[in-house]
A and B are shown apart, each in its own frame.
Chain A
Amino acid sequence: MQAGETVKQGTIMRQPRIFGLAGLLGASVFAGSLILLHLTHTDINWTRHYVSDFTNGRLGWVFVLGAVVHGFGNLGLSLGLRQSLDPGSLRAWAFLLFGLAAAGIMVAALFPIDPVGRYPTLVGLVHRVATIATFPLELVALFLFSAAFARHPRWRRRRVTSFVLSTVAAVGLAGFLLAFVLNRMAGLAERLALASFLAWELWVSLQLARSASGVEVAR
């Protein structure tokens, strides 16, 4: 009976670890693809062009692949956090919004932005809808996860870091929206916002992947 329980617990515990690794992989692959594209594209102006503009250039598939892997990784991270946190409204909404944002990343990758100098298309419109929804949904999810961390014994000591990183992401997003409205260095502001979101994702994925095997996991 005891042995059976150990096996059962081991199975439950291993999943968040795998999902944490998936989150780590997704965020790393996306960050790596962006670094690669920035190094290989001298024609893209970092301060003005959005990262989505890479889709329409040389090695556009690298961006699409990176973003799709990122989306799947975030879905995994979302599932992993769901397994690892206590049930309740915070967990439910954080999981839902983070999952929606992850789906939005994939939709934005698969429906490319309109190429520069072309009239707007429906495909470009889908890209716009997905990107518009993704950032704020993920931001709300980050804060909800931070609050959920405070209610769980294992995550409690990580709540401050999570909250700080979420606040940095909020500032990043606010900066991006401001730059977008003012039409000043929107590309740079978008990169900074992306970096702030990726920082939270990488940090939480790492925490999940490192410690999930040795602690109790909520059903």
Chain B
Amino acid sequence: MKSLIWIVVWKEVREIRRDPITISVAVLLPLLMLYLFGSALSLDVKDASLAVYDQDRSAASRALIERFPHSGYFKRVHDIRAEGEIAELLDRGRARLVLIVPPDFSQKLARGESAEVQTLADGSFSATAMVVVGYAEAIIQDYAFERARERLAAHGAGIPLVPVRVESRVWFNAPLESRNYIVPGLFGVILMAFPPLLTTLAVVREKEAGSVQQIFVSPIRPYEFIAGKMIPYAAIAFLEMLMILVAGLWWFHIPFLGSLPLFLAATVIYVFCTVGLGLLISSVTRSQLVAMLLSLLATLMPSFLFSGFLFPIYTMPMMLQLYTYLFPARYFVEISRGIVMKDVGLEVLWPQFLALLLYTVLVFVITTRLFRKKVA
């Protein structure tokens, strides 16, 4: 009985080896997706080029300007000498932000008046323009707050400036780098995108060629056939995961805080689940075209939309939140982020593990039953 499974496995391995195109796509595309989404989805601002037009040239203006590079968000790249340079710097994209300090800046501060500074942001990259402006405003507000406190202290005022003081700490992603949560989420999405497709296409191709009929008349049992089909594709999916895990950690310097064995254990369950879904789809379709469309609609699209990878699930309407439980990517994204970012273990993630395991068993049982009907 056991040997029949391995016969199917061996047959499938030989089929896979005969198809280098599919293997190439299976390797290339996940890496491409990881790299592109990991690098281009980030809205973080780091070392944004800053040009400064300091018309005041005082200790006060220097104190304000120095806060920008010290924040880590800006890199001072140019000192403007004349107003005419500003437009050219922004036009040529040499500065993402221009800070203009007027000539009377320090005098106004000394007189206790409100001094104004101007920021000009390059809005051509619209996704981060306002983030840049927001950081600049925060730095300037912080400076203004400090100046006001100093002045009150100089006048002997011992009362705090604000009655409530906030001490904020960000856990799990202290530098607030978006790639730290995008990449662990991508692991789940990529694994849901390609393995089901590979499996579906492989089985449906056999159906189109008619060779699957030989299986129907052979003494092999449905669960042996399904298991034999699952194992090689699950192995490919597992290797895919190892590949994107290494690439993700290496390219993006993601700190992996949790247990690697636990993560790999979750991966094993998840790859069987994704491959099982591919087999399930292939059991209800006969043409590659329909199989592709169904596979994309049932696996890739929901994994993007309803896994919490892009859109936080808690911000969705209640009905949609319940709907997300239908997709295994949701559980794996939670496990992945939990292990990679939070260093949590089974004591926290057991519901997600259990759900994923039950899901996988259910998919296997349904696929086997559908296959049994076909044999009958």
Q: Does B351 contact A (CB under 8 A)?
A: no
Interface pair A128/B40, CB less than 8 Å apart: yes
Q: Which of B127-135, B236-244, B250-258 makes up part of the contact surface?
A: B127-135
A-B contact pairs, 22 of them (CB 8 A): A45-B91, A45-B124, A48-B124, A93-B25, A96-B197, A113-B126, A114-B127, A115-B126, A116-B123, A119-B134, A120-B127, A120-B128, A120-B131, A122-B310, A125-B41, A125-B310, A140-B29, A180-B40, A185-B93, A186-B93, A186-B124, A187-B124
- Within 8 Å by CB of A129, from B41, B134, B197, B205, lies B41
Q: Does A136 contact B (CB under 8 A)?
A: yes
- Within 8 Å by CB of A136, from B36, B41, B288, B292, lies B36
Closest residue of chain B to A100 (Cβ to Cβ) is: B296
Interface pair B124/A132, CB less than 8 Å apart: no
Q: A113-B126, A128-B41, A144-B21 given. 10 additional CB < 8 A pairs?
A: A45-B124, A88-B21, A92-B201, A118-B126, A126-B310, A129-B310, A132-B37, A140-B28, A184-B93, A185-B93
Closest residue of chain A to B305 (Cβ to Cβ) is: A126
Closest 8 CB pairs of A and B: A116-B123, A89-B21, A48-B124, A116-B126, A119-B130, A132-B40, A117-B123, A114-B126
Tell me the complex Cα distance, A50–B292, Å: 32
Closest Cβ of chain B: how far from A129's Cβ, in Å? Answer: 7
Closest residue of chain B to A113 (Cβ to Cβ) is: B126
Tell me the complex Cα distance, A184–B296, Å: 36
- Name the B residues within 8 Å of A115 (CB-CB): 126
Q: Does A175 contact B (CB under 8 A)?
A: no
Q: Does A90 contact B (CB under 8 A)?
A: yes
- CB-CB contacts below 8 Å: A140-188 with B: 140, 144, 180, 183-187
Q: Does B33 contact A (CB under 8 A)?
A: yes
Chain B 16-50 per-residue mask, 1 if CB under 8 angstroms from chain A, else 0: 00010110010011001100110011010000010
Tell me the complex Cα distance, A144–B29, Å: 13
- Name the B residues within 8 Å of A92 (CB-CB): 201, 205, 288, 292
Interface pair B22/A89, CB less than 8 Å apart: yes
Q: Does B311 contact A (CB under 8 A)?
A: yes
- CB-CB contacts below 8 Å: B156-196 with A: none
- Name the A residues within 8 Å of B314 (CB-CB): none
Closest Cβ of chain A: how far from B61's Cβ, in Å? Answer: 26
Interface size of A in residues (CB-CB distance below 8 Å): 40
Q: Does A133 contact B (CB under 8 A)?
A: yes
Closest residue of chain A to B124 (Cβ to Cβ) is: A48
Interface pair B36/A133, CB less than 8 Å apart: yes
Closest Cβ of chain A: how far from B353's Cβ, in Å? Answer: 28
- CB-CB contacts below 8 Å: A119-139 with B: 119-120, 122, 124-126, 128-129, 132-133, 136
Closest Cβ of chain B: how far from A140's Cβ, in Å? Answer: 7
Q: Does A82 contact B (CB under 8 A)?
A: yes
Chain B 204-218 per-residue mask, 1 if CB under 8 angstroms from chain A, else 0: 010010000000000
Tell me the complex Cα distance, A96–B33, Å: 15
Q: Does B96 contact A (CB under 8 A)?
A: yes
Closest residue of chain B to A103 (Cβ to Cβ) is: B296
- Within 8 Å by CB of B96, from A100, A132, A180, A183, lies A183
Q: Does B289 contact A (CB under 8 A)?
A: yes
- Name the A residues within 8 Å of B131 (CB-CB): 119-120
Interface pair B25/A140, CB less than 8 Å apart: yes
Closest Cβ of chain B: how far from A167's Cβ, in Å? Answer: 17
- Name the A residues within 8 Å of B296 (CB-CB): 100
Tell me the complex Cα distance, A86–B70, Å: 61
Q: Does B304 contact A (CB under 8 A)?
A: yes
- Name the A residues within 8 Å of B96 (CB-CB): 183
